[in-house]
Amino acid sequence: MTIDDFIDRLPKVELHVHLVGSASVPTVLELSRRHPDSGVPTGEEELRAFYTFRDFPHFAEVYQAVNALVREPEDVASLVVGLARDLAPQNCRYVELQVTPYAHWVRGLPMRAVTEALDVAARRSLDEHGVEMAYIFDIPGEYGTEAARVTLDHALNEPPAALVGFGIGGIEQERPAYRDAYRDAFTAARAAGLHSVPHGGEMSGPETVWEVIEGYGAERIGHGINSLDDPRLVAHLRETQLPLDVCPTSNVCTGQVKRIEDHPLPRMLEEGLFVTLNSDDPPMFATTLAAEYRVAAHVFGMGQAQLAQFARNAVQASYLGQDGKRALLAEIDALA
């Protein structure tokens, strides 16, 4: 079979995708027509033009506009089920979806209502699209102590049934001002049995990766691409095989990497690091999970064996149950 046929048939796991950033054109149309006063286009042609980003500030503007469409619990559920609908044709079986509860809390959505919507959406995603949904609650790192408190409160006191992890995203350079609050939040979340899956080393240097390892007890790290600037950190990541969720197209779209050909993914593999492929904010970056595998194949020349290994890595780094992991790994091995 061709490499593209192989990618299409390969069972996949998505470990790094954001709730609002996952909203494709059909999902946004559903929300904008539900809330026609939002200013977000309600026609498909106009919305596709709206989704054509001029620059990163325009991306941020569109992201906030879509976030403002999430006003009711039904809107939260629509985003989750819409993601499952988009991932199912890509043969994606399991997702760990990053949700930012603080963004809904500041808009007045009660924690219990958001949780109920996430629970309903997880059931619908599996029943209607065959995609198993798990959740990671993440702190928006630029919003400080209140955001940490609200995120932790929701995670500990009103968690959805499929909550598996606790993370932090946003602007990494803002985190040092709230260092103790973030460390304390992760300590409490881990004590409650949640996995630590923070972003680190995306828009800042190795010092942020060290902080999430030493201060947050990271079990998996979002991005981590700037780890290569510190040989001691590279050695640590290689020795521990701490998984790094890499999102190549995202890194180009946000300006962290100048060109896709310059992405450090090949070097990360040469250094023996444990890497998974992910999409981050797929419609907003004009990508998909399958497209990230195509980047690995067509830009970096990776063959079926390496693509299958990416898929295995994602299964192994996930918090899917052991029976589910064994079944998926057997499917990947059979295809490979």
* Residues assigned a catalytic role: 202
Three-class DSSP category at 96 = strand
Look at residues 80, 51, 45 and name the one whose alpha carbon lies nearest to residue 63.
51
- The 221-223 sheet, strands edge to edge: 199-200, 221-223, 244-246, 275-277
Q: Which residues pair with 279 in a beta bridge?
A: none
**Which two tokens mark 80?**
């989750």
Q: Which residues pair with 140 in a beta bridge?
A: 169
DSSP strands (E only) in the chain? 12-18, 92-99, 132-140, 163-169, 195-196, 199-200, 221-223, 244-246, 275-277
How far out from the chain centre does Cα 24 lie?
A: 15
Amino acid at 62: V
- Identify the residue whose tokens are 């819409």: 82
